[in-house]
Amino acid sequence: MPLQRRIPKRGFTPRKRKVFQIVNVGDLARVDGTTINAQTLKDAGLIRSIQGMIKVLALGDLSGAYQVEAHKFSGGAVAKIEAAGGSVTTVGPVVRPDPAPESESAPEESENDG
């Protein structure tokens, strides 16, 4: 039997897939302070890595006014945070700078082609 038939088929995985770390609104009470960002979420044990992107979802109730910074918010989460007197700030994704493109020097044409 040919090799391509013997190997299990796994489906398609897009290369530019965005993976978010999920934080629920109800879990924000476990964070110390009123300003919540990636570092405070990491210290509270709600996310694994500061490098990853964070999405806040609307599961749970909010007890206080928080200033939340994350990469993405659900509509319900924004409504709950602002109803409690807090504010929402969308942070851009972590972008690694591309290496500077080397200037390509084209060979100069001379007037004397001889």
Look up the CATH number of the domain holding residue 82: 3.100.10.10
pLDDT of residue 108: 59
Range of the domain at 47: 20-90
The residue among 45, 42, 43, 71 whose CA lies nearest residue 56 is 71
Render each residue's pLDDT in the chain as its tens digit; 114 residues: 898 888 888 888 788 888 899 999 999 999 989 999 999 999 999 999 998 999 999 999 998 899 999 999 999 999 999 999 999 999 986 555 555 555 555 555 556 655
Is residue 97 included in any domain, yes or no? Answer: no
**What was the pLDDT predicted at 7?**
86
pLDDT of residue 4: 85
24 occurs within a structural domain: yes
The pLDDT value recorded for residue 13 is 79
8 within domain boundaries: no
Q: Say what the pLDDT of residue 82 is.
A: 95
Give 6-68 as a DSSP string: HSPP-----TT---EEEEEGGGGGGSSSSEE-HHHHHHHTS-S-SSSEEEEE--S---S--EE
Please state the domain count of the chain. 1
So what's the pLDDT on residue 9? Answer: 82
For residue 86, what pLDDT is reported? 94
Q: What pLDDT is recorded for position 107?
A: 56
